[in-house]
Amino acid sequence: MTLVTRLFAVFAVLLSGCAGAPPSGQSPRILAMGDSLMAWNSVSSQSIPDTVAETLGEPVIDRSISAARIIYHLPVSGSAGMNIRKQYKAGDWDWIIVNGGGNDLWLGCGCFACDRKLDKLISKDGRKGAIPGMLSQFRQTGAKVIYVGYLRSPGVGSAIEHCREEGDILEQRITRLAEIDSGIYFLSLRDLVPHGDRSYHALDMIHPSTKASTAIGNKIADIITTE
């Protein structure tokens, strides 16, 4: 057996073992986008998109990047993915899973005096702003959208604990947007973490542990399978 033949045989075995690989000619139908909530634990293949793919037994294209924002203007070459809207990749998507806004508040205005930033992200009625504009673009492709909220750390300190009020306001507005469009599903994580439970967070008490990524991914998969 030649070296080329051996390599081809190994490749064929690996390909046949890929969970959720689409049938020949079938494109992936689920796209994931967002910031570190979505991207965290991807190194160990235990991120939120990884869990969705494993649970559903089909591929999920993950374009999320840590520290990404909804509103991002730095003109740096190769930085397009830091703008969550620009993570979008054209495709025949049935579902787009997305999150974002936390870094805009934390890094953009320090979660202090953020009224103007909140309004730029999404208006009080949920109809205007960068987030409704982004989701409208996605919905025009025919895809349904699952917008994922952020983890809370009830009873446990966190470096972003002072962002709680701004985060609550942001998610209240996204909830209003989801009520306007039946093709947008808002997944709140407000009650996911039991009081005083540190196991849902990484050591920094900001990002999700693998336990949290798995729990969130399963909730997303439930929405996809029941709708």
Residue 24 has pLDDT above 60, yes or no: no
Whether 201 is in a domain gets the answer yes
Whether 3 is in a domain gets the answer no
Q: In what side-by-side order are the strands of the sheet with 61-62?
A: 61-62, 30-33, 95-98, 144-148, 184-187
- Across residues 170-188, what is the average pLDDT? 98
- The pLDDT assigned to 9 comes to 34
Whether 191 is in a domain gets the answer yes
Whether 19 is in a domain gets the answer no
Report pLDDT digits (tens) over 207-222: 999 999 999 999 999 9
Whether 10 is in a domain gets the answer no
Whether 8 is in a domain gets the answer no
| Domain coverage including residue 61 | 27-226
Residue 20 has pLDDT above 50, yes or no: no
CATH of the domain at 81: 3.40.50.1110
Total number of domains constituting the chain: 1
- Across residues 168-196, what is the average pLDDT? 97
- The pLDDT assigned to 183 comes to 98
- The pLDDT assigned to 16 comes to 30
- Measured distance CA(159)–CA(59) in Å, rounded: 34
Whether 11 is in a domain gets the answer no
